[in-house]
Structure 1
Amino acid sequence: MLDKLDFLLALAQERHFGRAAESCGVTQPTLSAGIKQLEDILGVRLVERGSRFHGFTPEGDRALEWARRIVGDARAMRQDIEALKRGVVGHLRIAVIPTALPMIAQLTTPFRARHPDVRFTILSRTSLEIGTELDNLEIDAGVTYLDNEPVGRVSAVPIWREGYRLITAADGMLGDRKTVTWRDVGRVPLCLLTPDMQNRRIVEGLLREAGAAPAPTLESNSTVVLFTHVRTGAWASVMPQSFADIMGLPSNIRAIPIVDPEVVHTVGLVAPHREPMTPATKALVSEAKALAARLAQIKAPKDAV
């Protein structure tokens, strides 16, 4: 039964019979036969068939919910039992929104010091992709916004608060200001993330509320591309303060706080809402809480000044 549920999950992920079969390491006829056997067991049609994949029936959508739960629990059981023999081991797949990527080493490095037999795959994803991939068991955890758009049914750990800065040349437009307003920022030619990114939607929303019309001169789904352009001194952007701090700014570039309003959003770890968690995911949640406590201690003295 588990192999047939894996076939169903692969089809939900790939939306294509051939690619789903390839991801499972079987032939397309084997995958199709497995799904047909699952339909026979359940006594309902799960997939809308034709010359190509056309989607799931209502019964198929419900079966997918159960498949995610059953397959997730089976994987968690295997990892839990393995941990009894060897400690926390395995492979953690973590998807991260682009603006949080520079911070991720502060989570993974102390984790690996405690659990050296765990390896990582870090993926850059949009917040929407993180939610989908968590549902489809493609990733074990994500780092994303927690308080702006719905994150779904997950276990969430707030880690830090993301504030925004205008990153611009010291001798450029607004470069001599101590603070700028969102209305001011709307007058600057910006390079921004692409519209599928939640950070872009946040920035655009704030600019529109201030009466400005966002008109970026450059877009990219990579913060590295934006940052390298800003570092030339010929471009400006809106970036989280944490991103600018970690990546480092040359002396000719300033990070100017944006006020009126001064907006912050919470970024944190999300993991499947499942008890018990896999040992590796449980350890990752503990590490996220420890990181949040460390960052709060660093911030507290600054707030007191």
Structure 2
Amino acid sequence: MIDKLEMFIALANEQHFGRAAEACGVTQPTLSAAIRQLEDQLGVQLVRRGSRYQGLTPEGVRALEWAHRIAGDARIMRAEMRMAKEGLSGKLRLAVVPTALAMVATLTRPLMERHPNLSVVIHSRNSGAVRSMVEGLEADAGITYLDGDPLGRLMTVPLYRERYLMVVSDGSPLAGRASVTWAEVAERPLCLLTEDMQNRRIINQHMAEAGARPAPRLASDSVLALIAHVRAGGWETVLPQSTAALFGSGSGLAAIPVEADSAGHRIGLIAEPREPHSPVLRALIDAAVNTASELDR
């Protein structure tokens, strides 16, 4: 039953029989047969079928909630038994918004030093995808914005407040400034993250409040692409303080604080509220609580 529920969850996540089968490491006929067997066991149709996947039935939507709960509990049980035998081990899957990637090592490094049998996989996603991966059991936890997009029933652990710096080349006329305003930022030749990123929506909001509207000629979902263009000259960008710090002195770049951003925007850990948590997730939550004050300096 558990294997069939895992395949059902994968199908709901992927919304495609072939991709779901690949994610589960089985053939498509095997996955299709497992879904039909699950339907027979439950006595209801779970999936609308045609020439391709057409979504879940109302019964399938409800069954998916139970599948997440049951499969999640089964994973936690297996992890608890493995921990009793081997200590903390296994894989921690993290989904992280791009602007928080610079601080992830603050959590993962001490965790992996303390538990040498633990491995970590980090996925860079926008805030909506981070939430979906956690809810869909594709990630054990996420690091994302706690303000703005609704997080529903997910548990949260605040980590720090994101504050912004304008990043320019050393040759920019702004390079020697102590600070800039959002209105001034809007007038510069900007390259920013894409509109689907919450960071970009926050920047747009700040500029709108200053009576300005950004008109970047270049947008990317990669911070590295933005930095490459700034370093090439003729472009400027806005990045969180933790990310801008990666490209510090000697890099040909200058970072200038943006005024009226003292409050910042909360970044934190999100996870399913299920109790008990898996041993790996418990260790991550403990690490997040212990390092939150350090991150928020």
TM-score bracket, shorter-length normalisation: over 0.9
Please identify, of 260-269 and 218-227, the stretch whose mean Cα deviation from structure 2 is larger: 260-269
Aligned positions of 1:67-146 closer than 5 A: 67-146=67-146
- The one-letter code matched in structure 2 to 1:51 is S
User: Structure 2 vs 1, CA of residues 189 and 127 (structure 1 numbering), >3 Å: closer, same or farther?
Assistant: same
1:60 corresponds in structure 2 to: 60
Unpaired stretches in structure 2, ≥5 consecutive residues: none
Q: What are the Cα deviations for residues 191-245 of structure 1, in whole angstroms up to 9, with x where unaligned?
A: 1111111111111122122222221121111111112222334321011111112
- The one-letter code matched in structure 1 to 2:186 is G
Distance 2:144 2:90 in 1: 23
Q: Which runs of 4+ in 1 moved over 3 A?
A: 173-176, 249-252, 260-263
Distance 1:237 1:34 in 2: 50
Distance 1:251 1:136 in 2: 40
SS in 2 for 1:54: strand
1:268 corresponds in structure 2 to: 268
Q: What are the Cα deviations for residues 37-90 of structure 1, in whole angstroms up to 9, with x where unaligned?
A: 222222221111101111011111111111011101100011011111111111
- The one-letter code matched in structure 1 to 2:37 is Q
Superposed CA RMSD in Å reads 1.7
1:278 corresponds in structure 2 to: 278
SS in 2 for 1:65: helix
Give the CA deviation at 1:263. 4.5
2:39 corresponds in structure 1 to: 39
SS in 1 for 2:244: helix
- The one-letter code matched in structure 2 to 1:182 is W
- The one-letter code matched in structure 1 to 2:79 is Q
Q: What are the Cα deviations for residues 162-185 of structure 1, in whole angstroms up to 9, with x where unaligned?
A: 101111234424334322211111
1:225 corresponds in structure 2 to: 225
Distance 1:132 1:172 in 2: 40
Please identify, of 273-282 and 165-174, the stretch whose mean Cα deviation from structure 2 is larger: 165-174
- Number of matched residues? 297
Identity over aligned pairs, percent? 53
Q: What are the Cα deviations for residues 272-292 of structure 1, in whole angstroms up to 9, with x where unaligned?
A: 211110001100111111211
1:302 corresponds in structure 2 to: none
User: Structure 2 vs 1, CA of residues 31 and 253 (structure 1 numbering), >3 Å: closer, same or farther?
Assistant: closer
1:303 corresponds in structure 2 to: none
8 Å contact from structure 1 (residues 233, 253) kept in 2 = no
Give the CA deviation at 1:152. 2.9
Give the CA deviation at 1:253. 2.9
SS in 2 for 1:48: strand
- The one-letter code matched in structure 2 to 1:39 is E
Give the CA deviation at 1:95. 1.2
- The one-letter code matched in structure 1 to 2:266 is T
Unpaired stretches in structure 1, ≥5 consecutive residues: 300-305
Give the CA deviation at 1:14. 1.4
8 Å contact from structure 1 (residues 102, 247) kept in 2 = no
Pairing 1:255–2:252 present: no
8 Å contact from structure 1 (residues 231, 249) kept in 2 = no
Q: TM-score, normalised by structure 1?
A: 0.92
SS in 2 for 1:284: helix
